[in-house]
A and B are shown apart, each in its own frame.
Chain A
Amino acid sequence: MNYLPTYWNDDLSSQLICGEIVLVSIKIELNTQLQFIEGIVAVTSQRLMAKMYGDEVWQSWYFHDDLRLVQHDHAGISFLELLDAHKRITYWRYRFGDSAIKELIECFAQQRKLHAQNESDSFLHSVTQDQIPSKNSVQELSEFLVANESIEKATSTWNLLRLWRFARPYKGRLLIGFLLTLCSTAATLVPPYLTMPLMDNVLIPYQNGEPINTELATFYLSGLLVAAVIAWILGWTRTYMLARISERIGADLRTTTYEHLLSLSHDYFGGKRTGDLMARIGTETDRINLFLSLHLLDFATDVIMIVMTAIILFSINPWLALVTLAPLPIIAWLIHLVRGRLRIGFEKVDRIWAEVNNVLADTIPGIRVVKAFAQEKRESERFRAANLRNLQINDRVNKIWSLFTPTVTLLTEIGLLVVWVFGIWQISHDEITVGVLTAFLAYIGRFYLRLDSMSRIVSITQKAAAGTKRIFDILDHQSSIPESKNPIPFKTTQGRIELQNVSFRYGTRSITDNVSLTIEPGEMVGLVGHSGSGKSTLVNLICRFHDVTEGAILIDGYDLRSLSIADYRRHIGLVLQEPFLFYGTIADNIAYGKPTATWSEIVEAARAAHAHEFILRLPHGYDSIVGERGQALSGGERQRISIARALLINPHILILDEATSSVDTTTEKEIQKALENLVQGRTTIAIAHRLSTLRKANRLVVLDCGKIVEIGNHSELMAREGFYYRLYQAQARNIDTEDATTIVSSAEHSSSGEYK
C-alpha cells in the first residue's frame, strides 16, 4: 500500500489529521509538463492528497459524491484525472505500467462510496482488507525492478567468459589441448636455438681454417630435423583436437539457442526480424566457433611463444635481449593504430553490405509489386547507388589496406636493423659470439611476423564478444508465458472454455477489456467484429500464445496457466487464414501434428477435408513436395491441407481464425464443407469476416474495441437490430450481388474484401 521513499513518507504523515490513515500512496515521476519530477498521490481515509516535488503545500480534496478519479493512457504516458460533475479539477501524468495506480483508483472509489454511505465503521474494515493484496503488489514491483536491472547489465568482452558454460563438458580435453600447445610451441623454438652452436662450433671454426666437424654438424642438423618433426606432430594433434572441441562447443551453442528460441512465446517472434534471428543462430555461432578454433588458439600460441622466446633470449644475453624486445611494444602499438583505422573502414564495408542486401531482400520477395508498378529501373537504380557507395568505401579501405602489409614489413626491418646494430657493436666488444646474434635474429624474425596476426585479435575478439552477446540475448530471454512449476498433466478434455474477466494489454495498448464468456463442450461460437476489435487476440489468449494481463481462462475448470503447455496445445486444432505448409511431402504436412499417423489415417483426414481428390491429381500424389520451392498449390488447396492437418490430431478444441477469408466464394463453399466435417462434436471458436460463414454457429459473440457488445444466435441478434444487425446489413448488400451474378468479376471481389 505504500510505495514511497522515507522522505516522502515523513512529509505525508506530517500532514495527516487526527485519525486519518494513508491507504494507498504512490510516487509519480512526471509532472504535467512531462518533466521528470517526483510527486506523490495518496488516498487517505479522509481525502485525496497530492504534492509535486518543489511544491510548497499539499493539495487535498475531501471525498464527496461527485468526485471521480479516472485513468487513461496514450503512447506509454498515462493520465490520472480528478473530475467532479462539471469539470476536471486536476490531473497527473505518470509512466505507464505502474500497477499501483489501479489500486489507487479502486481504493479511491471505495472510500468515496463509503463516505457517501457514511459508514465510518466499515471503512476501517476495508483498510485491513486492502493490505493483503497490496503487499503482493509491492513484491511484484520489486521483482519487476530486479528484472529491469538484469537487462541493463554491462555488455563487454567479458561476455566471452559466458561461453564457459558450453566449454565445461570438454574441460579435460581442453587442458590436454593447452598442454599440447605448450609443447608444440616449445618444439618450434628449438631450431633457432641450435643455430647458435651450429654457427659458433662448426661454421666459424671452418672460416678460421679448421676442417668441418662432421660429427658435430650431423648432430646439430639431426637435432633440427627431429625438432621440426616433433613440432609438426604436436602442432597437428593440437590443432585437430582443439578444432574438434570448438566445433562441438559451437554445435552445442547452436542447438541450445535454437531449442530455447522455440520455447519462447509468440510475441517474442512478433518483435524480431526473421533474418536477424536466423543470422544470430547461423552466422554468429559460426563466428564464435571460428574465433575459438582459430583466432584464440593462434593468439594463445603467439603469447606463449613470445614469453618463451623472451625467457630464452634473456638467458642467453640479457642486454641484447633488452634491445631486441624494446621496439616490440612500439611496433605493436603502431600496428594497432593502423588496424584501428582499418577496422572502422571494414565496419563501414559491413554496413554498406547490409544496405546492398536490404535492397535485394526488399525487391526479390516483392518482385510482383515491382513488376506490376514497372519500377524495375528505380530498383536497379537503388541497387546501383548502394553498390556505388560500397565501391567508394572499399576504395578508401583499400588505400589503407594496401599500405598496411608493407608498413608492417618496414617496421619489422627497422626492428631487425636495431638488433643488427647493437649485435655488431657487442660482437666488436667480444661480448657475444656470431652464433648468438644469428640465434637472436632467427628468433626475432619469427615473432615480428606474428605481431601482425596478434594485432588482429583485438577486433576479432570484439566481434566474437558482440556475437556472444547476441546469442546470449536469446538465451537470457525468458518466455513470457512460463510453464507452470507443477504443470497439471492434461490428457483428456471436454473442451469447456471459461473466460473470467479477461483483460489483455499488448505493450501500452489495452486490447481486450474485461471479457467474460463461457463456451460449453461441443458448442460452436463465432467471433464477430471489425478488425482490431480483439477477436484474434482472444483466440491467441485461448491458445496461450499470450498470457492474460488480468482475469483467468479456465479449461474444464483448470486455470490455463497451471496446465502443461504442450499437453494443452495437443488438444487444439488451429486453422489459420494463411495456412503454412512446411517444405516436405503433402503426407508429412498433414501428419505434422501426429508424425506417427499411418497412411490410411492421412488419407482419411484428407478425404474429410475434401483434399483427397486434388492431391491425387498431383504428379506424386501424397508424396508431392509442397512448401517453399515445392509444388504450387492454390490458396484453397493449401487451406484444405491445413484443415486435414487439424483433423488428423482429432482435437477437442478447434480454432478457425479467418479460415476462409483468403479464398473466393466457390472455394469457400468447398472449404465450408470440409469444415463441417471438422466442427462436429468439437468446441469450436470461429472468426470470420464474412458473417455468412458463421450461420452454423450456436452463438455469435460480437466484439467491439476489446469488449463484448452482444451475444446471441443470428436471428436473435438480427431481431435486436444492434451492432450485429448493422454489420450484417453492410455485408448483405455485397453478398447479394455475389450470389446474383454467376460470374463474379474481380472488381466485385475486391469490393467485398474491403469489408474485412
Chain B
Amino acid sequence: MIHMLDYHLSCNSYGRMVLTTASNPIEKEVVPVRAFPISNPLQGIALVDRQGYELAWIDSLAELPQDSRELIENELASREFIPEIKRIVKLSSFITPTTWSVETDRGNTDFVLKGEEDIRRLSASSLMIADQYGIHFLIKDRAKLDYHSRKLLDYFL
C-alpha cells in the first residue's frame, strides 16, 4: 500500500482515473471507494485497482492537493447515485410490494418497495430506502418532510 502523496492521480484518455508513483510510472487504473459511504462519507477513502486490491488509502479528502481531490470527487459523484427524497407524492398501496411516487433532488420518479425490511434506519431521523433494483433513496430528515409525506411514510415505520 502506498502512502499519501507518493503517488499521482490523473485522468487518462478513456476518462478513467489512473495512478502513477515515482518508482512505477506505469499507469494503473484505480477506483475510489468510500469506506463509510453512509455514516462518514468524507473520511476513509480507498483507491482500489480493478481486481479490488487496495493501492492507496486516504484518511480525509481535505488533506489531498486540490487537483487530486477534485478528480476523486468528480469520480465519486459520477458513480454515486443516491437520490434524496424530498416529497412522497403517492403510494400505490399500503401493503408491500408497493409503488412509491416521489419527488427527489434528481427529479420525479416511481420505484417499487419490495418489503418493509428494505427501509433502513440510518439514525433517528434519516432513512435509506432500497428499491427493487437495489438503488438507494435517502431521506435525510424525515421531520423536515411535509405532513402528507410523513403520514405516508409512517405506515411503513
Binding site for B on A (CB under 8 A): 585, 587, 599-600, 603, 612-617, 619-623, 625, 629
Contacts and interface: CB of A to CB of B under 8 A. Distances in A.
Contact of A621 (B33, B53, B57, B117): B33
29 contacts: A587-B36, A587-B39, A599-B35, A599-B36, A599-B39, A599-B40, A599-B44, A600-B44, A600-B59, A603-B57, A612-B46, A612-B54, A613-B52, A613-B53, A613-B54, A614-B52, A616-B33, A616-B35, A616-B52, A616-B54, A617-B48, A620-B38, A621-B34, A621-B35, A621-B36, A622-B35, A622-B39, A623-B37, A625-B120
A585 B36 CA distance: 10
The 9 closest A-B pairs by CB, nearest first: A623-B38, A621-B35, A616-B33, A617-B52, A622-B35, A622-B36, A616-B46, A623-B39, A620-B37
Most buried by B among A600, A612, A614, A621: A621
B43 interface: yes
Interface residues of B, number: 20
Nearest to A614: B52
Contacts, number: 48
Interface string B46-63: 101000111001010000
A166 to B, nearest CB: 29
Contacts of B44: 599-600, 603, 622
Given A599-B36, A599-B43, 4 more contacts: A600-B59, A613-B48, A616-B33, A617-B52
Contacts of A612: 46, 54
Contacts of A613: 48, 52-54
A623 B34 CA distance: 10
A623 B48 contact: no
Most B-side CB within 10 Å, residue of A585, A600, A616, A622:
A616
A587 B134 CA distance: 21
Contacts of A600: 44, 59
B53 to A, nearest CB: 6
B140 to A, nearest CB: 15
Contacts of A625: 120
Contacts of B46: 612, 616
A600 B120 CA distance: 24
Contacts of B37: 620-621, 623
Interface in B20-50: 33-40, 43-44, 46, 48
A614 B46 CA distance: 12
Contacts of B40: 599
A613 B40 CA distance: 18
Nearest to B120: A625
Contacts of B59: 600
A623 B80 CA distance: 15
A619 B117 CA distance: 17
Nearest to B41: A623
Contacts of B38: 620, 623
A585 B39 CA distance: 10
Contacts of A614: 52
B68 to A, nearest CB: 19
A592 to B, nearest CB: 16
B146 to A, nearest CB: 28
Contacts of A622: 35-36, 39, 44
Contacts of B35: 599, 603, 615-616, 621-622
A339 to B, nearest CB: 38
A600 B59 CA distance: 8
Contacts of B48: 613, 616-617
A585 B120 CA distance: 11
B153 to A, nearest CB: 20
Nearest to B54: A613
Interface string B116-143: 0100100000000000001000000000
A36 B99 CA distance: 73
B4 to A, nearest CB: 14
Nearest to B57: A603
A726 to B, nearest CB: 43
Nearest to A585: B39
Contacts of B39: 585, 587, 599, 622-623
